[in-house]
Amino acid sequence: MALDWTTALSFLIDGLMLGFVFGVAAMGLTLIWGVMDVINLAHGPLIALAMFGVYLIMNFLGLSNPYPALLLTTLLALPVGMGIYYLAVHRVIDAPHLSSLLATYSVNMMLMGVMNAVFGGAPRNIDFSLGSITLFGDIVVPTARLVAALAAVLIAAALYFFLYRTRVGRYIRAVTDNRDAAELVGVPSTTILALSFGLGVLLAAFAGGLIATIFPFTIFDGGRYELKSFVIGVLGGLGNPIGSLFGGLILGVIEGLVPMFLETSWTPVIEFGLFVFILLVRPTGLFGGKS
Amino acid sequence: MAILEVHNLESGYGEVQILWGVDMALEQGRLTALVGANGAGKTTLLRTIMGLIRPWKGQVLFEGQDISHLPPHKKADMGLVLVPEGRQLFTSMTVMENLEMGATPRRARPYFQRNLELVFEMFPRLKERQNQKAGTMSGGERQMLAVARGLMAAPKVLMIDEMSLGLAPVLVLQLFESLHKLREVGITTLLVEQNVHMALAVTDYAYVLAHGQVELQGPSRELAKDPHVQKAYLGI
């Protein structure tokens, strides 16, 4: 196959942009794991729910632009996540991992069931286009993807600022580090755990909403992005939310470049091959994380 | 007046009962020791008082108010602070961040600067190391930081679990000397110690815990002369 550099570069840029968005979804998963050692198996359906959230809010309010709906969906995700924590996760927070896996998997099943009943499995599409812009002279990029990538970087920066520069962020890091000790110095650790879960869901929802501005979606799409989040989380280091952004980039590059050389169906093979390889040789992830 | 009272307290882990009706009272401003053999229930008593373990029976009163079933963070807010066994620092944070975490209770925040100066005066080492990660410090430095973090909460009652464990004698002496400063600034302190000799030498009053009950109590100086204490705990 003759390599056309312009095509290669545009595939790469496309992959990188999507990688940032997948990175934000993974951040949500890995934040929750880092703070409370819970793997949120409802991650995927929550991403899908956020896609429908954007779609429904646009229709309900008669908006033609998805971004206000995205903002609203993201804000709503925080109390939804906190609610899931109090209802399903808190009672098994000190139990063995299997209990919290089952608890979040139950949430997954319920969300899927309700979404299937209410929305059905038909694909939806957000009918909105920002057109495209041309970068570096001859590379055409859909503007919505560029906006999504920029938004993803912005929310990652906001998360970093929140965790390292605010009092509540410091509480989250303290609970991550040592929950009993945090409680003993006066941190309401249950509230902080719920807030962290809410933030994880907020990040997943933000990513889901951004993806909805790029691709058509069905209620079943969450599972794909959940799997990507696992791969990215392990690449970046589980429990290291900022590492997820870089993990997302790596995945994005793979997704951008693989289709140039192989059938697209090889992409997951290569991704999960890498996933297993990283788990074998460097289980804390490329950028370190919680062991 | 007793600032912290424990009445007939029972608790344990799972099916195993550890405390079998403990009665204790800490007088305001006094330095009290809680001593006893390994497994006597000292740490369990502290954890039950703080609410890390639920009491099965009995009461904990703080300034006359029943706080038996409050979660630990509410107690810390009120001024009841535990320096836990094994230090339990925030190891991924710096010394300064640990001290800032110590000042979490709302009532401690206005006194942050004053307490920071007090703590740095007590432990100059921490001032030098303020930007170091807590997880990379030596055992003695960590213990200093654990006590310092407790002091940043502006405690009314400070309970310190096994301060001397695993530390060099010089450091132990230095830490015990710093306890007198706590009394000067009006902090009621409960010191849980395996080093009975040292504990009885520096405190005003002491409780001896055995098999989950208070076996003996009295002024520390008198307990140090008690034949049973000498034989069982002081090896004389």
Partners of A181 on chain B (C-beta within 8 Å) are 84, 88-90
Interface contact A186-B52, CB threshold 8 A: no
For residue A90, what is the DSSP state? G
Q: Which residues contact A167 (CB under 8 A, 6 or more apart)?
A: none
Closest Cα partner for A89 from A63, A67, A68, A107? A107
pLDDT of residue A171: 97
**pLDDT above 50: residue A291:** no
Q: How confident is the model at residue A289 (pLDDT cuts 50, 70, 90)?
A: low
Could you give phi then psi for residue B81, rounded to 5 degrees? Answer: -125, 135
- Concatenated DSSP letters of A237-263: -TT-HHHHHHHHHHHHHHHHHHHHHS-
Q: What is the ipTM of this complex?
A: 0.91
Q: Is residue A118 part of a domain?
A: no
pLDDT for the residue numbered A241: 82
Asked if the Cβ–Cβ distance from B52 to A180 is below 8 Å, we say yes
Asked whether residue B136 carries a pLDDT value surpassing 80, the answer given is yes
Q: How many CB atoms are located within 10 Å of the residue A62 CB?
A: 6
Residue B187 CA to residue A218 CA, distance in Å, equals 62
Assign B172 a pLDDT band (cuts: 50, 70, 90): confident
Chain B residues touching residue A178 (CB < 8 angstroms): 88-91
- Give me the phi and psi of B30, to 5 degrees please: -95, 155
Q: Domain boundaries in chain B? A: 2-234
| Confidence check: pLDDT of B77 > 60 | yes
Q: Is the pLDDT of residue A260 over 90?
A: no
Question: Is residue B205 within 8 Å of residue B33, measured between CB atoms?
Answer: yes
CATH number, span B2-234: 3.40.50.300
Mean pLDDT, range B196-220, rounded to an integer: 93
Residue from B81, B99, B101, B160 to probe the interface with A (highest A Cβ count within 10 Å): B101
Contact B100 A180 (CB under 8 A): no
Mean pLDDT, all residues of chain B = 92
Please check whether residue A214 lies inside any domain of the structure. yes
The whole domain housing A222 covers 13-105+142-281
> Looking at beta carbons, which residues of chain A come within 8 Å of B84?
180-181, 184
Between residues A80 and A256, the one the model is more confident about: A80
pLDDT tens across A109-149, in order? 999 999 999 998 889 988 888 888 887 777 888 888 999 99
Judge whether residue B128 has pLDDT over 90. Answer: yes
Q: What's the average model confidence in pLDDT over A47-71?
A: 94
User: Contact B78/A184 with Cβ under 8 angstroms?
Assistant: no
Instruction: Determine the pLDDT at residue B229.
Output: 87
Confidence of residue B87 (pLDDT cuts 50, 70, 90): confident
Residue A115 lies in a domain: no
**Structure pTM?**
0.91
Q: Does A288 touch chain B if contact means CB atoms closer than 8 Å?
A: no
Residue A190 with chain B: CB contacts under 8 Å: 71
pLDDT of residue A285: 79
Helix, strand, coil percentages (3-state) for chain A, rounded to 5, are 75, 5, 20
Structurally, chain A folds into a number of domains equal to: 1
Instruction: Answer yes or no: are the C-beta atoms of B58 and B7 closer than 8 Å.
Output: yes
pLDDT for A232-245, tens place per residue? 998 888 778 888 98
Asked whether the beta carbons of residue B91 and residue A177 sit closer than 8 angstroms, the reply is yes
Give domain status of residue A135, yes or no. no
Q: Is the pLDDT of residue A290 over 60?
A: no
Report, as an integer, the average pLDDT of B149-173.
Answer: 89
* B92 vs A contacts (CB less than 8 Å): 173, 176-177
Nearest residue to A204 via CA among A105, A76, A55:
A76
Query: Do B40 and B192 contact (CB within 8 A), yes or no?
Result: no
